[in-house]
Amino acid sequence: MQPESAQFGTVATRVAALNTRYRHHSAISVLEHALADADTGAVAMVSSFGAESVVLLHMVAVVDRDTPVLFLDTEMLFDETLAYQRAVAAHLGLGDVRVIRASRTKLAAHDPEGMLHRENPDACCNLRKSQPLAHALAPFDAWITGRKRFQSGSRAALAFFEAEGEARIKINPLAHWAREDIADYMVNNRLPRHPLVARGYASIGCAPCTTPVAPGEDPRAGRWRGAAKEECGIHFVDGRIIRAPIKQAS
């Protein structure tokens, strides 16, 4: 069955219209309109409850605290992240947080010892993140992400709205924000910080694949350190799953 928003045109057509319509809007305005615009259809937010997640979660709580928030529990997260997720959801009064986990059957078949991340991190991300998220997002026409241009090379040209192939739309309200904007928003709104940030974790994912970063390092340098990989496979460029840094055209 096609989503209701499909009657308004293809995903690419609607993305182009949305970017034109809200090109000069602020982050909170983009979010507010995205949750109400017919071209986005049914919208959910996906959040890792990581180092900077509380900013966008706070905005969602201000605009509509009953927006569905999908939290991927890979069962390899830091204990601090799980505690922080519960605390932030309660602090902001989020009304529809959905904890998403991988199929028990698939985990037993493909990662019975929980060591797949050592042998094949891409396969582990696919099993514990990409597949469960794809299933959870099936009822939605669009999803909100906290991605920002400053985070890595593959995000440098990020727009407010992206086409995820012909599946759905991705909404990036914070695309144009700088690191300083994030810090200022957290201070001004007295938002709780992830406890691992104080220990040098600038970008926080699964415990086995995340390390602290040194002063001056890229914030995502601690994710899959030493591997030719900068995305978990959840995000797409031109309909393709990103599993490694994007090669620049010569």
Residues catalogued as catalytic: 232
Q: Within a 13 Å sphere around the CA of 246, how many CA atoms are in the beta-carbon half?
A: 16
Say which amino acid occupies 127: L
Helix (H) or strand (E) holding 121: helix 121-125
Q: In the structure encoding, which two tokens stand for residue 81, read together?
A: 């992240």
CA-nearest of 33, 45, 16 to 146 is 45
Query: Residue 86 and residue 148: Cα distance in Å, rounded?
Result: 24
Whether the Cβ atoms of residue 45 and residue 69 lie closer than 8 Å to each other: yes
CA-nearest of 101, 51, 47, 52 to 69 is 47
Q: In the structure encoding, which two tokens stand for residue 120, read together?
A: 């094949």
Helix (H) or strand (E) holding 61: helix 53-64
Query: Residue 144 and residue 171: Cα distance in Å, rounded?
Result: 5
Say which amino acid occupies 146: G
CA-nearest of 52, 58, 89, 59 to 71 is 89
- The residue assigned the tokens 């985990």 is 107
